[in-house]
Structure 1
Amino acid sequence: MDSSYAVGDLRVSDAEREPAIQRLQDAYAEGRIDHDEFDMRVQLAMTAKTRNDLETVTRDLVPVRERERAVAEEATGEDRMLAAVAHAVAVPTLFVGPLVLMLVSGKRSQYVRRQAKEAVNFQVTLLMVTIVTFGVGGVLYGLAWILSAIAAVYALTGQTFRYPWILRLVK
């Protein structure tokens, strides 16, 4: 018996194909691949003979949950605290506090930068709505305080929070 085969050269079973097909279905549902690409990849997954063949079908489709978990693992306690502060300081300072945190601490930590950027975009969107509606949009600031508190809690736990219905002007 020759044991010189690499793990990737081993044959795959139907049980090993199922998770790959599930990953393809998730990516299609999330809009990361279109229908034609989905059909092609499923066909390739069903006809894959080795683990390497199967892995090439899903290599670029890391599940969203795993990406979020990777972000949470890279954020230190200090990063999580600064990200929470970025959301909380937006209540009294509008976009200025999160912008300062993004520029200062964002250089050191991608997690803090992403969260502060989200808070800046949220506050700028609220400010624009308030200006366009001649102050009537100011009533949304009550909702903004609640959303900022929720975002701060998410940041403390190391999760990524995205405000709904905002303009993402700061990239």
Structure 2
Amino acid sequence: MNGGGYTTTALRVSDAEREPVLERLKDAYAEGRLDHAEFELRMHLAMTAKTRADLAAVMAGLERPVPEPASGGVPGKTAPGPPDGRQRLLAALAHGSGAVPLIIPPLAVMLLAGAGAPYARRQAAEAVNFQLTLLLVTIVTFGLGGIVYTVSWVVALVAAVAALGGLDFRYPWILRLLRA
């Protein structure tokens, strides 16, 4: 207890304090660390949290692993930094190829990027999932979903620009069948 008679965990949270928690929950869901039901529950709990302790409970088990120091860590294993120019270019190529309704270019980037380009692999997997979703919609609607492809060109180009900037782009409303 501090001099005021309360702990910092009892302090009420603001919207600004909720935002990073909501973003971390979205990331954990995208990483496959939460199933849909648990994601929905934790999002609700985060949105209705009143204190820092409530937010801490929502985040239980989702803390990102802290990288080991260089002297005591796994040899050759470092925390991934921001994507380099090559990774950003590969990711932009994977997304930008969505202007042509082919799964092959982003799939090739995903398979050939290798372990040394995790950002490019994640973004290429996102682009493949986007293309697969569009293909399934077109098949299920007996070709009428092909109209969606015209709108998808704009989304693919926005994703390509975001990837060039090193941002993690997530397509809304798609099936995520592949993980990088």
TM-score tier (shorter): 0.5 to 0.7
1:113 maps to 2:121: yes
Between the aligned partners of 2:166 and 2:50, the Cα distance in structure 1 is: 36
TM-score (norm 1): 0.64
**Among 65, 68, 82, the residue aligned to 2:90:** 82
* Contact 2:98–2:156, Cα closer than 8 Å, also in 1: yes
Q: In terms of Rg, which structure is larger? A: 1
Change (3 A) 1:41 1:145: same
1:92 maps to 2:100: yes
Q: Structure 1 residue 89: deviation in Å?
A: 1.9
Q: Structure 1 residue 42: deviation in Å?
A: 2.0
**Among 149, 163, 166, the residue aligned to 2:171:** 163
In the TM superposition, 1:9-158 aligns within 5 A as 17=8, 21=13, 25-26=18-19, 27=21, 31=42, 34=45, 42=53, 61=63, 73-92=81-100, 94-158=102-166
Unaligned runs of 5+ in 1: 1-10, 46-56, 63-69
Change (3 A) 1:43 1:154: closer
From the two aligned structures, give the one with the greater helix fraction: 1
* Contact 2:18–2:55, Cα closer than 8 Å, also in 1: no
Cα deviation, 1:77-101, whole Å, max 9, x if unaligned, reads 1110110001112322521110010
Between the aligned partners of 1:166 and 1:44, the Cα distance in structure 2 is: 28
Change (3 A) 1:43 1:75: closer
Partner amino acid, structure 2, of 1:159:
L
Partner amino acid, structure 2, of 1:160:
D
Instruction: Report the count of equivalent residues.
Output: 139
Percent identity reads 41
Change (3 A) 1:44 1:34: closer
Q: Structure 1 residue 113: deviation in Å?
A: 0.7
TM-score (norm 2): 0.62
Cα deviation, 1:85-120, whole Å, max 9, x if unaligned, reads 011123225211100100001432110011000000
Cα deviation, 1:107-166, whole Å, max 9, x if unaligned, reads 321100110000000000000010111100000011111000000000000001111110
* Contact 1:80–1:112, Cα closer than 8 Å, also in 2: yes
Unaligned runs of 5+ in 2: 26-41, 65-78
Between the aligned partners of 2:168 and 2:3, the Cα distance in structure 1 is: 36
Between the aligned partners of 1:13 and 1:104, the Cα distance in structure 2 is: 59
SS in 1 for 2:100: helix
